[in-house]
Amino acid sequence: MKRVYNFSAGPSMLPLPVLEKAASELVCYGDSGMSVLEMSHRSPVYDEIIKSAEALLREVMIIPDNYKVLFLQGGASTQFAAIPLNLMNGSGKADYIISGQFSKKAYQEAKKYGDAVCVASSEDKTNSYIPVTTRESFRPDADYVHICFNNTIYGTKYYYIPDTGDVPLVADMSSCILSEPVDVTKFGMIYAGAQKNVAPAGLTLVIIREDLLGHARDITPTMLDYKIMADNGSMYNTPPCYPIYICKLVLEWLKETGGLTERKKINEEKAAVLYDYLDSQDYYIAPVEKQSRSMMNVTFVTGDAELDKKFAKEADALGFKNIKGHRSVGGMRASIYNAMPVEGVRDLVEFMKKFAQENPKG
Ligand SMILES: *Cc1c(COP(=O)(O)O)cnc(C)c1O
């Protein structure tokens, strides 16, 4: 069967060469005589896999030595609680910027643990932009500032890194990690659920500056304590072995195809195919402010809920899958992560043109 263009926001497409490599190694990995799916996480052969996954991530993202890389479970959502439990430990204050649903959830979770305050929000305009902040926006004694770097549901992204002074900046990069180079040194912690741009569901990446480790509250569950996870090389218990292995293959693919600088160019080109078309016509509306447009999740509507529904249905039948917007916002969303080829985006735009012609608005 022919592979479709899967525009899902997550889990999402994986690079075809990665799937093919994984398939070729599925039954017997190397000369181990067994599948990675069956392997002990304590075996030397698996040790090599997790160590190279980490080394590759460090190389591709240029992660300095004073940061730890953790391979965790529980998804990005578990981090919403782990972050305050580990970091809200000095003044007990944390500042949150709400720019979409996930940052709001993170904020609401943190409120359970201390003095979390929303210092900036884009909820006044249905999260169609990224709030602008200055150092003065934040409490200087806050334990950290939390942002979501790319808003998967609304389709916005940060084009600047907020200046938080000495307050560590924590960023949810679930839907944009590995899409372009980022200066890791500007962040105290970066985290991401892997199922958008890194690996299958089940793996969560945490990249954290060493000085932020070791201050967890006494009540912090062992499994959520970053220091314990770091001291045990992410193997306090059984890690998500297979997603880590796929993560390694994805990183090898990224490296072979030019790393993040090249990836950014490709992603910009892909996003431009869609946004240039959206800007050239008035059938579809792109609700996001131009300066905040996501490179990964492109949202648009026809302005007519029935037409939106018809669009998603016809697109699906033609092999443009999962183009329907998030259930909370409606409309359409094309998630064009690293693995989506440029042809997929070009073909989608051709379909959009045809649909507009065939379905004039009343
Ligand atoms: C998908 C997503 C989440 C939720 O991730 P889970 O791994 O399902 O918990 C959180 N934040 C962002 C930005 C996301 O895109």
**pLDDT per residue as tens digits for the range 264-323:** 999 999 999 999 999 999 999 999 999 999 999 999 999 999 999 999 999 999 999 999
User: How high does pLDDT run on average in the chain?
Assistant: 97
Q: What are 131-166's pLDDT values in tens digits? A: 999 999 999 999 999 999 999 999 999 999 999 999
Number of domains forming the structure of the chain: 2
User: In CATH, what number is assigned to the domain containing residue 328?
Assistant: 3.90.1150.10
pLDDT above 90 (res 345)? yes
3-state secondary structure 145-204: EEEECEECCCCEECCCCCCCCCCCEEEECCCCCCCCCCCHHHCCEEEEECCCCCCCCCCE
Displacement of CA 85 from its chain's centroid (Å): 22
Indicate the residue among 227, 256, 285 that finishes a domain.
256
101: pLDDT confidence band, cut at 50, 70 and 90?
A: very high
Instruction: Answer yes or no: is the C-beta of 224 below 6 A from any ligand 1 atom.
Output: no
pLDDT at 333 (0 to 100): 98
Indicate the residue among 256, 286, 312 that finishes a domain.
256
Regarding whether 208 and 132 lie in a shared domain, the answer is yes
CA-CA distance, 69 to 65, in Å (whole number)? 10
Q: Give pTM, 2 decimals.
A: 0.98
CA-CA distance, 343 to 341, in Å (whole number)? 5
Q: What are 163-181's pLDDT values in tens digits? A: 999 999 999 999 999 999 9
Atom in ligand 1 nearest the alpha carbon of residue 78: 9
User: In CATH, what number is assigned to the domain containing residue 76?
Assistant: 3.40.640.10
Instruction: Answer yes or no: is the C-beta of 77 below 6 A from any ligand 1 atom.
Output: yes
If you take atom 7 of ligand 1, which residue's CA is the nearest one?
75
If you take atom 3 of ligand 1, which residue's CA is the nearest one?
76
User: What 3-state class would DSSP assign to 285?
Assistant: strand
Mutation choice for ligand 1 from 101, 102, 103, 329, CB with most ligand atoms inside 8 A: 102
If you take atom 14 of ligand 1, which residue's CA is the nearest one?
174
Instruction: Answer yes or no: is the C-beta of 174 below 6 A from any ligand 1 atom.
Output: yes
Find the 75 Cα to ligand 1 centroid distance in Å: 7
Regarding whether 141 and 207 lie in a shared domain, the answer is yes
Regarding whether 196 and 124 lie in a shared domain, the answer is yes
pLDDT at 329 (0 to 100): 86
- Residue 298 is assigned to a structural domain of this protein: yes
Beta bridge partners of 171: 147, 190
Indicate the residue among 256, 274, 303 that finishes a domain.
256
Regarding whether 275 and 246 lie in a shared domain, the answer is no
Mutation choice for ligand 1 from 174, 191, 333, CB with most ligand atoms inside 8 A: 174
- Residue 12 is assigned to a structural domain of this protein: no
Instruction: Answer yes or no: is the C-beta of 205 below 6 A from any ligand 1 atom.
Output: no
pLDDT at 290 (0 to 100): 97
- Residue 2 is assigned to a structural domain of this protein: no
**Full domain range(s) for residue 118:** 17-256
Q: What are 118-127's pLDDT values in tens digits? A: 999 999 999 9
Find the 77 Cα to ligand 1 centroid distance in Å: 6
Q: List, as one string, the DSSP characters of 6-50.
A: E--SSS----HHHHHHHHHHSSS-TTSSS-GGG--TTSHHHHHHH
